[in-house]
Structure 1
């Protein structure tokens, strides 16, 4: 066997001597070997995000090889699909969606590949609660391949999440024609059918409740109209408008009644005997106080309520003890004419509400109460139009 020339042996000896004395730059050590391995594509545990060619030239090279424009659209779409699958396995669903989207953009003629890309993207959307987007992708996948079972399953699950149970049942039935023993479809269909029946039952109950409410509302409005009681939606109208509407209900009748619930927490209602009960407000201007009667029966007299309110426990604000049932006068205001009408305490509420100048405002009849001929009473009415006894 030929031996090496002496010169080569001498050069090799010199190299080995230098190798023993100088440390290799960039070599792995106990502290950084895992970090360095992560930079090598073969040993990477996770796919990287944005690739900087200067920092990761090996990866940039691989990316160029995978998505080179010289490769066919089908090949590029498959590469994006695989990339998306890698992200999906890592549960990085947003990056998976981005990868699948790039694959879809290639507009390949392979219906199977397109169906897979759409279905995979639907799955990624599903896991970040984008149920509408997931459903749209499942529909798109089936347009590519109507019998794509995974797309059918994903669409059915999306319909369940958005509570469209009848559609979920329909998709399950279509999927079971493709695969009659598919466990996921059988389970989903059973659950969807049960929820669909429950939703239908609840909807029927709700319709019955609404129907009953509407019937009660119609009866209430008819009772008010038959009595000739006038309702104002707003607190004030012009005289021209009032003259036009006199003798009939004004504005959206029910809207005018409903507003009382916001003001007082109560609303006029019709009892089992066909009689009206009204929420009523009493104002005491001299003391800036109010009383509220939540259900003033239309056949009750004013004097009966005054006796109950001022018989034994007098209000704490009446320090002079001036307020007693027979020393009080009750008025209502006609805002359209800026006039006040005195109420006969022996009158019933219905008789007053039927007065030609009385309008129910905000669904709640209201009255002003004064101590008769008191100094405050005289001053208050000194510059106002006053009509005695209603």
Structure 2
């Protein structure tokens, strides 16, 4: 007997070590098909012939398609209970591939697969399964409920309500359908309300934009629109300008607007090319003078002006006519409106821009070299 016992322990060393409680042996034991607690998601017949053999024994192809489909359905249900929805989808799909010809069973397989897909967030796939299940069994309440829920998730609220109403004709007291219909109806009304608000807001903004453009046109201010494909300027007033082409927002978010007095306030950009610096005024009143802003902006010398030469009285202001490649000097005592009404000034991207340079500086002389400059008289 002792010799037999030794031979048995030698034949099953892994099992013996597991029974003796040796570390790591339980994990190794689960690698044996007979002792597996879960089946792998995919079985490689060449590397795992023992598992492939067990699978073929479990799903014997000699069984009828209906029997195989039912076995796959039960397997999918087990995975579903464990919340292993991906494997559940695979099992139900295998069942459907048996093409058993039983409408009732196939309807259940589609419904169950749809439920698993729903939990995975695959709402369109789940809806397709619900539709197929209804084709096989029009009175299948679970499929109708699942389809209604899918439509809610897909924000197809009218379709969700229609599915619920069809289901309630079969069972007027079905709680899930009653709740889903109420939810879909509430969401639909909220969506319609938001759409009305958005439309009203869009109409209001369009009206404000028309008023704004009318004010700009009235002042004979010319706008240069940013072309989408090729360079193009609109210089013949505003009659040709479409509302879609004019963007009053600047890159900073500031935009030209009418104040309570009906005056235009513009975002204005000051460029200092010598130091590659800029200043930005978010709301430059059209009747404000440039010199007034310069006095505030340079009340203290900026940190980048190491030579302390950027004084309001030392600065010259220019704008560039890009079409003609010419420069125009501005009178600092002029208002913004007077400058914008200049025959060769075009507002680009809703933001007037001017260049500021120090009078008679070496940089200024070099900057204007080769350029045609229209200076003040």
How many residues end up aligned between the 2 structures?
Answer: 359
| 8 Å Cα contact 1:283-1:367 kept in structure 2 | yes
- The 5-angstrom pairing of residues 79-158 of structure 1 reads 79-158=71-150
1:293 aligned partner: 281
Closer/same/farther in 2, CA of residues 377 and 179 from structure 1, 3 Å limit: same
What CA distance in whole angstroms lies between the structure 2 residues aligned with 1:138 and 1:95?
19
What CA distance in whole angstroms lies between the structure 2 residues aligned with 1:301 and 1:284?
19
The one of 361, 364, 371 equivalent to 1:377 is: 364
Task: After superposition, give the CA deviation of every residue in 1:6-51 in whole Å (9 maximum; x if it has no partner).
Answer: xxxxxxxxxxxxx675237467769359969x955xx986566538
Closer/same/farther in 2, CA of residues 73 and 389 from structure 1, 3 Å limit: same
Q: Which range moves more in the overlay, 313-322 or 45-54?
A: 45-54
Closer/same/farther in 2, CA of residues 39 and 347 from structure 1, 3 Å limit: closer
The one of 314, 336, 358 equivalent to 1:349 is: 336
Structure 1 stretches of at least 4 aligned residues deviating more than 6 Å after TM superposition = 250-253
Residue 213 of structure 1 pairs with residue 226 of structure 2: no
Structure 1 alignment gaps of length 5 or more: 1-18
The one of 292, 295, 303 equivalent to 2:291 is: 303
Shift of residue 58, structure 1, vs aligned partner = 7.1
Question: What secondary structure, in the 3-state scheme, does the structure 2 residue paired with 1:81 have?
Answer: helix
| 8 Å Cα contact 2:209-2:243 kept in structure 1 | no
Task: After superposition, give the CA deviation of every residue in 1:235-263 in whole Å (9 maximum; x if it has no partner).
Answer: 9x999x66xx43235877655535x532x
What CA distance in whole angstroms lies between the structure 2 residues aligned with 1:254 and 1:321?
45
Shift of residue 271, structure 1, vs aligned partner = 2.2
2:269 aligned partner: 281
Task: After superposition, give the CA deviation of every residue in 1:57-102 in whole Å (9 maximum; x if it has no partner).
Answer: 873563353x32xx44333322322232233233332222122212
Closer/same/farther in 2, CA of residues 378 and 147 from structure 1, 3 Å limit: same
Closer/same/farther in 2, CA of residues 380 and 81 from structure 1, 3 Å limit: closer
The one of 247, 255, 271 equivalent to 1:257 is: 247
| 8 Å Cα contact 1:233-1:252 kept in structure 2 | no
- Taking structure 2 as the reference length, the TM-score comes to 0.81
1:11 aligned partner: none
Shift of residue 190, structure 1, vs aligned partner = 2.6
What CA distance in whole angstroms lies between the structure 2 residues aligned with 1:285 and 1:381?
12
Question: What secondary structure, in the 3-state scheme, does the structure 1 residue paired with 2:281 have?
Answer: strand
Q: Which range moves more in the overlay, 294-303 or 368-377?
A: 368-377
| 8 Å Cα contact 2:315-2:358 kept in structure 1 | yes
What CA distance in whole angstroms lies between the structure 2 residues aligned with 1:297 and 1:344?
17
What CA distance in whole angstroms lies between the structure 2 residues aligned with 1:331 and 1:219?
30
Question: What secondary structure, in the 3-state scheme, does the structure 2 residue paired with 1:352 have?
Answer: helix
What CA distance in whole angstroms lies between the structure 2 residues aligned with 1:181 and 1:380?
84
Question: What secondary structure, in the 3-state scheme, does the structure 1 residue paired with 2:50 have?
Answer: coil
| 8 Å Cα contact 1:231-1:253 kept in structure 2 | no
What CA distance in whole angstroms lies between the structure 2 residues aligned with 1:159 and 1:121?
17
What CA distance in whole angstroms lies between the structure 2 residues aligned with 1:321 and 1:31?
87
Indicate the structure (1 or 2) with the bigger Cα radius of gyration. 1
- Taking structure 1 as the reference length, the TM-score comes to 0.78
Question: What secondary structure, in the 3-state scheme, does the structure 1 residue paired with 2:220 have?
Answer: coil
Shift of residue 313, structure 1, vs aligned partner = 2.9
What CA distance in whole angstroms lies between the structure 2 residues aligned with 1:335 and 1:220?
26
Question: What secondary structure, in the 3-state scheme, does the structure 2 residue paired with 1:257 have?
Answer: coil
